[in-house]
Amino acid sequence: METTIYNQEGKSAGKISIPESVFGLPWNADLVHEVVRLMNSNSRTNVAHTKTRGEVRGGGKKPWQQKGTGRARHGSTRSPIWVGGGVAHGPRNDKNFDRKINKKAKTKAFYTILSKKFKEGEILFVDSVNMKSPKAADAKKILTALSSIKGYERLATKKANAAIIAMDKKTVTVEKSFGNFGNVDVEEFRNINPVSVLNHTFLIVANPAEAMKSLIEKADSNATKVELKPAAKSVK
């Protein structure tokens, strides 16, 4: 498979070959849903915590005698049906939400998401994203230039989760330059996952030949033989 690669000025810089086993898979909603659900469960932080009837204070004395009062029998004022009593089946911070995710399933789901985004024109390959010094103005210029590419106009206008810039190696200048933009995240490609890609509309891959080297190594045996290199120009 071949696709266009651009420079940070938004101009075409040639063609690049990408593995079909990563960017040409059919959509599998069930697999993606299962993996994303498990990943969200693993990242869940237990904060809410309620006390049971055995943890709240008081309630040691029987409220009234068992029989003869005409009222319902009770053994403790800390019962869940009493005001100030314990909570039955409430949230607990000691509950374990960790779930096992099959590595092959997670990898396949990641490739499936990349394939869908590539087909829908939401992955942009850029030869490099470089800045001499951390400046938000320069970052804005890059976003404006990339948004001039057909199909990526929302890069400069979407207010939330517009794009994630995946680099081969994150630099301080780029990270600080985009730090003031709440709609753009900068991350190394090896650290992105199905959830982070789905949470952003666009995926900008900077220096894809180096950034996706580890991804190709994790692909199947056919994909490992594919090399990322500029496509040869046709001779007219």
Q: pLDDT tens digit string along 121-149? A: 999 999 999 888 999 999 999 999 999 99
- 232 found inside a domain: no
Residue 230: DSSP 8-state: B
How far apart are alpha carbons 5 and 51 in whole angstroms?
57
For 91, the domain range is 48-96
6 exposure class (CB count in 10 Å sphere: 0-12, 13-18, 19+)? buried
Q: Are residues 53 and 144 in the same domain?
A: no
Q: How many domains does the chain have?
A: 2
Q: Are residues 129 and 75 in the same domain?
A: no
The packing angle between helices 103-119 and 29-42, to 10°, is 120
Q: pLDDT tens digit string along 3-50? A: 999 999 999 989 988 888 899 999 999 999 999 999 999 999 989 999
Q: Are residues 70 and 136 in the same domain?
A: no
Q: Are residues 73 and 153 in the same domain?
A: no
Q: pLDDT tens digit string along 69-108? A: 999 999 999 999 999 999 999 999 999 999 999 999 999 9
Band (pLDDT 50/70/90 cuts) for residue 158 is confident
Q: pLDDT tens digit string along 203-233? A: 999 999 888 887 777 664 444 343 445 544 5
pTM: 0.81
Q: Are residues 210 and 120 in the same domain?
A: yes
- 231 found inside a domain: no
Q: Are residues 80 and 188 in the same domain?
A: no
Chosen domain end from 96, 127, 162: 96
60 exposure class (CB count in 10 Å sphere: 0-12, 13-18, 19+)? exposed
Dihedral Cα 207, 213, 214, 218, nearest 10 deg: 130
Please report, for the domain that includes residue 34, its CATH number. Answer: 3.40.1370.10
Contact 215, 22 (CB under 8 A): yes
Residue 91, both tokens: 């949230």
- 234 found inside a domain: no
Res 218: pLDDT = 67
